[in-house]
Amino acid sequence: MSALQGQVAVVTGASRGIGRAVASALRGAGARVVRVARSLVTGGSGDFHDIRCDVTDSVAVEGAAARVLADHGVPHIVVSNAGAFVLKPLDVTTPDELDQQIAVNLRAPFHVARVFLPAMRDAGRGAFVTVGSVADHVVFPGNSAYAATKFGVRGLHETLVAEYRGSGVRLTLVSPGPTDTAVWDLVNPDAREGFIRRADMLRPEDVADAVLFVATRPAHVHVDWLRVNPRA
Ligand SMILES: NC(=O)c1ccc[n+]([C@@H]2O[C@H](COP(=O)([O-])OP(=O)(O)OC[C@H]3O[C@@H](n4cnc5c(N)ncnc54)[C@H](OP(=O)(O)O)[C@@H]3O)[C@@H](O)[C@H]2O)c1
């Protein structure tokens, strides 16, 4: 039998990149997977159930969660992955860009946690995975807005680990290093000194493997933090 047969998983930011790879990996292991993103069309799409949702909108997230609970029951796995990346020095980062980073990288994970974790606690089980970043614990000059949100989401995660201890819900922060997705298109790291080349980055499937590892641990095992990086 597949490891996640009979389980329901929700993945935010699953229309491309890491989230899409995570959704495929969980589906491949037998889970019923609900994908959430702004560019998806609500409904069934072959292997997946999709919900169009802007996760920065708390009301829309509540609506998406209500739909998941009504259609599929309390999820066994939630992967809070949706995010965005601004790489700019402080003096050229606008207040609007900071607000957008906070909205998608920090407020949205809070909304997603808020709508699913209490139901998972009531069910007495579940894996709640947040996708952080190497920038949630290592500082790099030139990405203060992104780092502030990712350090923040690590604080959220660590607090929720304490808050949900003993509940049966296991919370994990997966912190990937540079991963070759569309977020790097504008940065063009191959042409810039001091950046890892795209060919040497992690693949989205590497991060998906890490999430699958977490989601398939036996119920008595809690992986609270998993850092995954390209080989040095
Ligand atoms: N790539 C890296 O090097 C790297 C490294 C460390 C951590 N991460 C983290 O990994 C996560 C995924 O990044 P990625 O590289 O896969 O980026 P990506 O390819 O740009 O994918 C981002 C995903 O998030 C969704 N999303 C963005 N804003 C959203 C919103 N407001 N509401 C709903 N969905 C939204 C996008 O879908 P729609 O546009 O369809 O909404 C898309 O599916 C992020 O949290 C990122 O910080 C990435």
Indicate if the pLDDT at residue 92 is higher than 80.
yes
Give every CB contact of residue 182 below 8 A, 6+ residues apart in sequence.
16, 17
Cβ proximity of 116 and 10 under 8 Å: yes
Q: What is the phi-psi region of residue 56: left when phi exceeds 0, alpha when psi lies from -120 to 50, beta otherwise? A: alpha
Ligand 1: which of 40, 183, 197, 201 to mutate, judged by most atoms within 8 Å of the beta carbon?
Answer: 183
Indicate if the pLDDT at residue 1 is higher than 80.
no
Indicate if the pLDDT at residue 103 is higher than 80.
yes
Number of residues assigned to the chain: 232
The CATH class of 8-228 is: alpha beta
Average pLDDT of span 95-104: 98
Indicate if the pLDDT at residue 45 is higher than 80.
no
Instruction: Summarize pLDDT for 52-72 with one digit per residue, the tens.
Output: 999 999 999 999 999 999 999
For residue 104, the SS3 value is: helix
Indicate if the pLDDT at residue 123 is higher than 90.
yes
Give every CB contact of residue 162 below 8 A, 6+ residues apart in sequence.
none
Atom of ligand 1 nearest to the CA of 179: 3
State the average pLDDT for the chain: 97
Active site residue 164: no
Rounded Cα distance, 232 and 228, in Å: 11
By CB neighbour count within 10 A (0-12 exposed, 13-18 middle, 19+ buried), where does 91 fall? Answer: exposed
pLDDT value of position 219: 94
Cβ proximity of 108 and 62 under 8 Å: no
Indicate if the pLDDT at residue 190 is higher than 80.
yes
Rounded Cα distance, 175 and 210, in Å: 10
Cβ proximity of 43 and 96 under 8 Å: no
Average pLDDT of span 143-154: 98
Average pLDDT of span 6-19: 98
- Atom 2 of ligand 1, nearest CA residue: 179
Of 116, 31, 109, the residue nearest 69 (C-alpha): 116
Instruction: Summarize pLDDT for 194-212 with one digit per residue, the tens.
Output: 999 999 999 999 999 999 9
pLDDT value of position 232: 85
Q: What is the pTM of this model?
A: 0.98
Ligand 1 within 6 A of CB of 38: yes
Q: What is the CB neighbour count within 10 angstroms for residue 192?
A: 9
- The one-letter amino acid code at 219 reads A
Ligand 1 within 6 A of CB of 212: no
Give every CB contact of residue 137 below 8 A, 6+ residues apart in sequence.
151, 154, 175, 227
Which candidate in 85, 116, 128, 146 is catalytic? 146
Confidence of residue 46 (pLDDT cuts 50, 70, 90): confident
Average pLDDT of span 103-123: 98
Could you tell me the distance, in angstroms and rounded to a whole number, from the CA of residue 132 to the centre of ligand 1?
11
Instruction: Summarize pLDDT for 14-42 with one digit per residue, the tens.
Output: 999 999 999 999 999 999 999 999 999 99
Q: Where do the domains of the chain lie?
A: 8-228
Cβ proximity of 130 and 174 under 8 Å: yes
Cβ proximity of 171 and 157 under 8 Å: yes
Give me the percent of the chain exceeding a pLDDT of 90.
97
